[in-house]
Amino acid sequence: MRREQHYKDIELNKAIDELISYNMLKDESKQLLDKAQEYKERYKYIQAICYDKIRISGGERVDKMATVDNWVDLELKADEKSREAERKYWQIESKLEKLADEEKRILELYYIKRYDLQKIALIMNYCDVTIRTKKAIALKKYTNV
């Protein structure tokens, strides 16, 4: 994830953290799902759950029940993070709705879709310096919403 510049104004930094937190939650959810999928793939030949231990390649002893519990727990945590990200998105979206269309679009493209300033400038037919300035203005308005 790119490093966001920090402003002297604490409120601007809080707004940036709020906007970035949505993608952080999404990333955490995806990592947990990937880990759960890794468990499923690694132990996909376990036919049934029993409490005895079986030997896996490399001499490692694995409790079948604990293995299934691990991926189920990871899936539940991922689902929780996903729901938390969704709530965060709607919280952010409700604040963005109060901004002008252009300001809303710049913040969405930069923080939610993770486009860089040059790509946003191409999309909106501005130079990247203008987009940087408009982004700073939009952030200030976002903090006051």
Task: State the pTM of this model.
Answer: 0.73
Higher-confidence residue of 76 and 62: namely 76
Q: Which residue has the tokens 């993770």?
A: 114
pLDDT tens column, 19-54: 999 999 999 989 988 888 887 777 666 555 454 555
DSSP for 69-121, please give it.
Answer: HHHHHHHHHHHHHHHHHHHHHHHHHHHHTTS-HHHHHHHIIIIIS---HHHHH
pLDDT at 1: 46
> Residues 101-113: what's their mean pLDDT?
95
Q: Which residues pair with 3 in a beta bridge?
A: none
